[in-house]
């Protein structure tokens, strides 16, 4: 296939000519357009959604399987950002028809989709000898196949509208190295596959002005890593982290804003690790 520059890149040199009266520092990290955040009902997804709105996002659709918690998060965001259009949809990203329908509805209501951020995922922590083929397929289906399904649906809308855009997958340091002390081969494999998927789509879709990147968080201080049962594992994690602590959910927001704004307009096919140096040891 012959590759050529996109007819209408999402961001180009002309976009760097801002109003002289405006603040160039703020304009650099301004987030324009409309976004879908899949898995936006969770701690990390809702925090990143808030960051996008703080930086100027106009319309936001949160997709999540948990309709109760998702609706609560949306209500909080609506109260904080009354001028933004914020909606919630219960979506299973492993169901292609369901995803296509939801994305079509968002594109119709918003007019365009400029940003996709996918936090939707699931984990499996058990010895490999105890993992059934059903469980293996479930973890890869949500984390890897689901990432492709939703990116595929959104990219087709971006291409049809000739707007380009930014697609971000949430991978993990688990895709970079074997986790310790917890055994989780299905999850590690799924996240490593997400990073390769990111690279493939970045190479193919750049001609349409679509940038595809991934973010690899380390161990984050969220509800998923709470509970006395994790005390021993957390002690090991912290002992192997140069900063000696877990990450705060806000510490992913800067990367999300970077990749969604003009500041990240030449970043494509990259994986940005935010782990406090966990993967150094």
Is the predicted pLDDT of residue 225 greater than 60, yes or no? Answer: yes
Report if residue 248 sits inside a domain: yes
In a domain, 12, yes or no: no
- For residue 191, indicate whether it is catalytic: yes
Strand partners, 274: 217
Domain count, the chain: 1
Segment 124-143 mean pLDDT: 96
SS3 of the chain: helix, strand, coil, percent, to 5: 50, 15, 35
Q: pTM of the prediction?
A: 0.91
Given a cut of 50, is residue 192 above it in pLDDT? yes
What's the mean pLDDT in 190-210?
A: 98
pLDDT digits over 17-72, tens only?
Answer: 556 667 888 899 999 999 999 999 999 999 999 999 999 999 999 999 999 999 99
202 found inside a domain? yes
SS3 3: coil
CA dihedral 163, 71, 81, 249 (to 10 degrees): -80
Residue 252 has pLDDT above 60, yes or no: yes
Asked about 89 being catalytic, the answer comes back as no
Q: How confident is the model at residue 263 (pLDDT cuts 50, 70, 90)?
A: very high
Per mean pLDDT, which range of 31-40, 195-204, 223-232, 240-249 is the poorest?
A: 223-232
| Sign, Cα dihedral of 223, 50, 103, 145 | negative
Task: Please tell me the predicted confidence (pLDDT) of residue 236.
Answer: 93
Catalytic annotation on 266? no
Residue 4 structure tokens: 């050529």
**Are the C-beta atoms of residues 165 and 151 closer than 8 Å to each other?**
no
Q: What is the pLDDT of residue 1?
A: 45
Under the banding of pLDDT at 50, 70 and 90, the label for residue 14 is very low
Tokens coding 165: 């855009």
Which residues face 35 on adjacent strands?
Answer: 60, 115
Q: From CA 91, how far away is CA 112, in angstroms rounded?
A: 19
d(CA 50, CA 65): 19
Task: Give the total residue count for the chain.
Answer: 281
Domain that holds residue 122: 31-274
Tell me, yes or no, whether 5 lies in a domain: no
pLDDT for the residue numbered 198 = 98
C-alpha–C-alpha distance, residues 72 and 187, integer Å: 28
Q: Give domain status of residue 25, yes or no.
A: no
Residue of 48, 59, 166, 187 marked catalytic = 187
Sign of the dihedral through C-alpha 168, 158, 7, 49: negative
Select which of 191, 219, 253, 260 is catalytic.
Answer: 191
16-20-22 Cα angle (round to 5): 85
Q: What is the pLDDT of residue 18?
A: 59
Check whether 178 has a pLDDT greater than 80.
yes
H-state helical runs in the chain? 24-28, 43-54, 67-80, 96-110, 133-140, 146-161, 185-205, 231-239, 253-260
Mean pLDDT of the chain: 92
Contact assessment for residue 183 and residue 126, using Cβ atoms and an 8 Å cutoff: yes
The answer as to whether 119 is a domain residue is yes
- Is residue 24 situated within a structural domain? no
pLDDT of residue 110: 98
Q: Do residues 52 and 32 touch, judged by C-beta distance below 8 A?
A: no
Q: What is the CATH number of the domain that holds 123?
A: 3.40.50.720
Separation CA 40–CA 53 (nearest Å): 13
Residue 88 lies in a domain: yes
Please compute the mean of the pLDDT values over residues 80-107 and round it to a whole number: 97
For 204-224, b where at least 16 C-beta lie within 10 A, e where not — what string? ebbbbbbbbbbbbbbbbebee
Q: Select which of 166, 172, 216, 253 is catalytic.
A: 172
Determine contact, residues 66/41, Cβ cutoff 8 Å.
yes
pLDDT of residue 24: 87
Q: Output the pLDDT for position 12.
A: 54
Give the percent of the chain with pLDDT over 90.
83
Instruction: Please state, in angstroms and rounded to a whole number, the distance separating the CA atoms of residues 102 and 119.
Output: 17
């Amino acid at each position: 296939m012959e590759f050529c520059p996109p007819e209408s890149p999402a961001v180009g040199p002309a976009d760097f000519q801002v109003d002289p009266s405006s603040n160039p520092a703020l304009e650099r990290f301004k987030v324009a357009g409309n976004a879908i955040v899949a898995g936006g009902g969770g701690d990390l997804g809702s925090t990143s959604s808030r960051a996008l709105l703080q930086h100027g996002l106009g319309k936001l659709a949160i997709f999540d399987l948990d309709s109760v918690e998702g609706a609560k998060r949306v209500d909080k965001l609506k109260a904080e950002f009354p001028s933004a259009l914020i909606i919630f949809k219960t979506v299973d990203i492993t169901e292609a028809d369901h995803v296509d329908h939801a994305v079509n509805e968002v594109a119709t209501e918003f007019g365009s989709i400029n940003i996709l951020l996918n936090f939707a995922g699931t984990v499996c922590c058990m010895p490999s000898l105890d993992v059934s083929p059903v469980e293996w397929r479930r973890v890869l289906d949500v984390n890897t196949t689901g990432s492709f399904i939703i990116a595929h649906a959104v990219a087709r809308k971006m291409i049809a509208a000739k707007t380009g855009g930014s697609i971000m997958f949430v991978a993990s340091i688990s895709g970079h190295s074997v986790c310790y002390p917890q055994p989780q081969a299905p999850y590690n494999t799924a996240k490593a596959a997400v990073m390769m998927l990111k690279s493939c789509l970045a190479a193919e879709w750049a001609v349409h002005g679509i940038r595809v990147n991934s973010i690899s968080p380390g161990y984050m201080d969220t509800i998923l890593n709470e509970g006395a049962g994790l005390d021993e594992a957390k002690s090991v994690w912290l002992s192997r982290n140069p900063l000696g602590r877990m990450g705060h959910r806000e510490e992913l927001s800067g990367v999300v804003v970077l990749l969604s704004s003009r500041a990240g307009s030449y970043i494509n096919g990259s994986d940005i690790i935010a782990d406090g140096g966990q993967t150094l040891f």
